[in-house]
Amino acid sequence: MKGEGKMVFKSKMKWVGLLGLVLSAISLFVHFLLARFTEGGVSEYHSSITIFPRRTIGESLNFSKTSPMYRRLWGPVRHLESLHPNANPRGHYADPGSDTSGFIFVRIQGGFHEIRNSICDVVVVARFLNATLVIPEIQSTTSSKGISSQFKSFAYLYNEDQFMAALSKDVKVVKTLPKNLKGLRRKKNIPVFKVPYSASPYYYKHHVLPILKKHLVVELVVSDGGCLQAILPPDLEEYQRLRCRVAFHALRFRQEVQELATEILHRLRAPGQPFIAFDPGMTREALAYHGCAELFQDVHTELIQHKRHWMIKRGIVKGKLSVNSAERRLNGSCPLMPEEIGIVLRAYGYLWDTIIYVSGGEIFGGQRTLIPLRAMFENVVDRTSLSMPWELSRIYGREANLVDRNPGSPPVIEEEMKIEAWKTAGPRPRPLPPPPARPKSYNIEGWWGWVAESDNEPDSTVMELRTNAHKLLWEAIDYVICVEADVFIPGFDLDGKGHPNFASLVMGHRLYQSAASKTYRPDRKKVTKLLEEIRDHLYHANHTWLMSVRKNLRKRLVDGVIEASARSKPLSFISHPVPECSCLRHDPAGKSINATTSDHTSTSTSHSQVLAALGVVHYCPAWMENDLILQSKDKENEETLDEDDSTSSGLFFRKNNGYHEGGNGDLSNKEETQLEDQEELEGGER
């Protein structure tokens, strides 16, 4: 009986094993079918980036677009809602004639924001001199720098056809010089002007124009991010609007770059939430120029000081090598660190799962400077986390392989040959003396040992020059996303020469395209002072401090724009194209429909004061009025649905699941927070 029982048990186990094998085979077959017939779906899944966690049921908030909280964090700046873009000519403006003074060939050097500024200036110069403009040559994107030969110079970054078509009624633009003049340029037989930064129109009229008429061609070398003064005389105001047409309409990125930027923007908006774009502005050049070395530690401080010494030798920096970085930071001369920006945003009321897009080709100090920001906000992303490597490679085009990724194996030497060579080598020589000192070659992306060896910066390798060209494309993607962001906040708005930087151009574009979009322009001096008040307990701020931060940020939404007209505009017109390129919506009813109370009357007065401070007096043309009136009616209908909000103040670092990362009991009074939010809404961004 026992033997029969064992046999039955073994038989059952065999059947179980056989059944398991059959099920495994079926499972593999099903997986094969899924992989075979859903290849498109799988590839689409891999190409989509999903990094944003969704709120749990217990964390749901009233995030309606008509709620007070939403309008305070993401809504438009009410005092700027009546400003609209209008860069069209406003008087007699003749088309460019067929007879011109000659050809202007331009070579532009510098980074992304310098190139953009320079192109706007050279177009105005060409119009001013009645000259034919040859598509500018961007030095950092020439084929000799190891980049793809598919896209040459200007076309590496911008769309040439769009550029020429958009300016057809302003300037005559050609792609190349005529053959005879091209030959003269190759032989270096044409006059060359190294144009000074911010040259006056009369410099071109009295120095360049006579030479242009004599030789029919001149070459301009623009290296400092601008070749024409930003503020032009009143009689040349039409040239300012031409600058706007160039910057905001003619300069479109080439199709591959534009498509990738649009795709990344789509991925950012996929969760259905608004997002913040943040530009740190922390480059080595800017930190060196403004004397902010001591904000960092170890080798980074040495690198900044080395760069500052190099700038002093070349007359770029007029000050001393050693400066008190702490003092300069308190004066607002240094960038706000990502941690400080994070604290300010959390204090204003942005929640821990707010999406923050970090722009910039590189952040000096590396990713470790973003660690505190990532600790405060879960969804801190950038270009690389929202795109695939192959997507970025595609916009570079076909490039030569500068690094042999598959080096050949060393020649094979037979063991017998080694032994024979050893036997016939003869007497052994004496030990050789140490070799003479050789020039050291350092990897610029690795350990910065050259800092202690030389006062000069090391020469760039071909790979580094290629990377510099790639950075232009990265910044082009960031530019599109920052302009379209729901909220934009810069860490710094000056470059390594004291001129407006990438963030300034973004703010200028946003001011032109949608003046009422939320663009924070923090007063670095005031913010630093506020942060110093709670330096010992940064993450446990009290109620009074939070209200001070909120008040300051709200105030800067408008005051920052007015201040930029005096600070930024004299250095770069397109960083503040108001009032020349804006118009005012004409409201025949004025504010009378809302002026039933003294509060609304006060708001109306404040609104008119803001417009007066900006100098906007030109009303939009009639063809724009109809669309604008329809939009304003839709907004009025939405505002009647406003409801009170009791969660917008909240605790400083709080997740709505009951866990407090930092908090303050003073903010637990629900009625008080309601009154505060209502005050912030009614006060507008005064």
Percent of the chain that is helix, strand, coil (3-state, to 5): 50, 10, 40
Give the integer Cα–Cα distance in Å for 188 and 183. 9
pLDDT at 628: 53
Q: Which helix (H) or strand (E) holds 287?
A: helix 284-289
* pLDDT level of residue 480 (50, 70, 90 thresholds): very high
Q: What is the mean pLDDT of residues 203-224?
A: 92
Structure-model confidence comparison of residues 612 and 630, the more confident one = 612
pLDDT digits (tens, 9 = 90+) for 120-135: 999 999 999 999 999 9
Note the pLDDT of residue 527: 93
pLDDT for residue 19: 81
Amino acid (one-letter) located at 291: G
Q: Measured between alpha carbons, how far is residue 570 from residues 198, 330, 564, 675 in Å?
A: 10, 25, 9, 41
- Sorted by sequence, the CB contacts under 8 Å of residue 163 that are 6+ apart come out as 135, 154, 173, 250, 251, 252
* Residue 59 binned pLDDT confidence (cut-offs 50, 70, 90): very low
pLDDT of residue 454: 65
Mean pLDDT confidence for 84-97: 88
pLDDT confidence bin for 381, thresholds 50/70/90? very high
Peptide bond connecting 579 to the previous residue in cis, omega within 30 degrees of 0: yes
Q: Which residues contact 414 (CB under 8 A, 6 or more apart)?
A: none
Partners of residue 107 on adjacent β-strands: 137, 221
How far apart CA 615 and CA 572 sit, in angstroms, is 18
Please give the Cα distance from 671 to 686 (Å, whole number).
24
- Dihedrals φ, ψ of 130, to 5°? 55, 50
Give yes or no for residue 193 having a pLDDT over 80: yes
Q: Give pTM, 2 decimals.
A: 0.80
**Is residue 45's pLDDT more than 90?**
no
pLDDT band with cut points at 50, 70 and 90 for residue 144: low
- Cβ distance 555 to 225 under 8 Å? no
**Share of residues in the chain with pLDDT > 70 (%):** 74
Lowest mean pLDDT among 86-100, 362-376, 626-640: 626-640
State what percent of residues in the chain have pLDDT above 90: 41
Report pLDDT for 661: 42
pLDDT at 57: 35
E strand or H helix at 174, and its extent? strand 173-174
Q: Could you report the per-residue pLDDT of 574-605, keeping only the tens digit for each?
A: 999 999 999 988 664 444 334 334 444 445 55
Nearest by Cα to 502 from 113, 157, 111: 113
Higher pLDDT, 685 or 237: 237
Question: Residue 303 — pLDDT band, cuts 50, 70, 90?
Answer: confident
d(CA 329, CA 537): 19
pLDDT single digits (tens) 389-424: 889 888 988 777 766 555 555 556 667 777 777 677
Q: Which residues lie closer than 8 Å to 64 by C-beta, 6 or more apart?
A: 70, 643
Indicate whether 55 pLDDT > 90.
no
- Given a cut of 50, is residue 512 above it in pLDDT? yes
- Tokens at 214, concatenated: 């004599």
Model pLDDT, residue 3: 57
Mean pLDDT for 63-86 is 86
Q: Are the C-beta atoms of 281 and 501 separated by less than 8 Å? A: yes
* pLDDT (0 to 100) of residue 275: 96
Encoded amino acid at 253, one letter: F
Per DSSP (E only), the strands in 538-613 are 582-584
Q: For the segment 246-290, what is each residue's pLDDT rounded down to a tens digit? A: 999 999 999 999 999 999 999 999 988 999 999 999 888 999 999
Read off the pLDDT band of 323 (50, 70, 90): confident
- Quote the pLDDT of residue 299: 76
Q: What pLDDT score does 39 carry?
A: 41
Query: Over the chain, what is the mean pLDDT?
Result: 79
Whether the per-residue pLDDT at 66 is higher than 80: the answer is no
Q: Higher-confidence residue: 674 or 74? A: 74
CB 458 within 8 Å of CB 450: yes
Is residue 125 within 8 A of residue 228, CB to CB? The reply is yes
Distance CA 246, CA 248 (A): 6
Range from 36-50, 354-368, 549-563, 632-646 that averages highest in pLDDT: 549-563
Q: 556 pLDDT band (50/70/90 cuts)? A: very high
Q: Taking residues 107-128, what's their average pLDDT?
A: 93
**170 pLDDT higher than 80:** yes
pLDDT band at 432 (very low <50, low <70, confident <90, very high): low
Taking the domains of the chain in order of start, what are their residue ranges? Answer: 103-252, 257-282+335-397+461-575
Rg for the chain, CA atoms, rounded: 31
Distance CA 534, CA 319 (A): 32
Taking residues 621-650, what's their average pLDDT? Answer: 49
Distance CA 140, CA 164 (A): 22
> Could you give the C-alpha distances from 141 to 107, 108, 150, 395, 470, in angstroms and in order?
11, 10, 11, 13, 9
Q: Which residue has the higher pLDDT, 475 or 537?
A: 475
How many Å apart are CA 312 and CA 319, to the nearest integer? 7
Q: What is the pLDDT of residue 257?
A: 94
Report the alpha-carbon distance of residue 537 to residue 102 in Å, rounded: 66
Query: What pLDDT is stored for residue 179 in this prediction?
Result: 87
Q: Which of 530, 607, 519 is nearest to 557 (CA)?
A: 519
What is the mean pLDDT of the segment spanning 26-34? 74
| 667 touches 649 (CB < 8 A) | yes
Q: Is the pLDDT of residue 444 over 80?
A: no
The pair of three-digit structure tokens given for residue 516, joined into one six-digit string: 């009422």
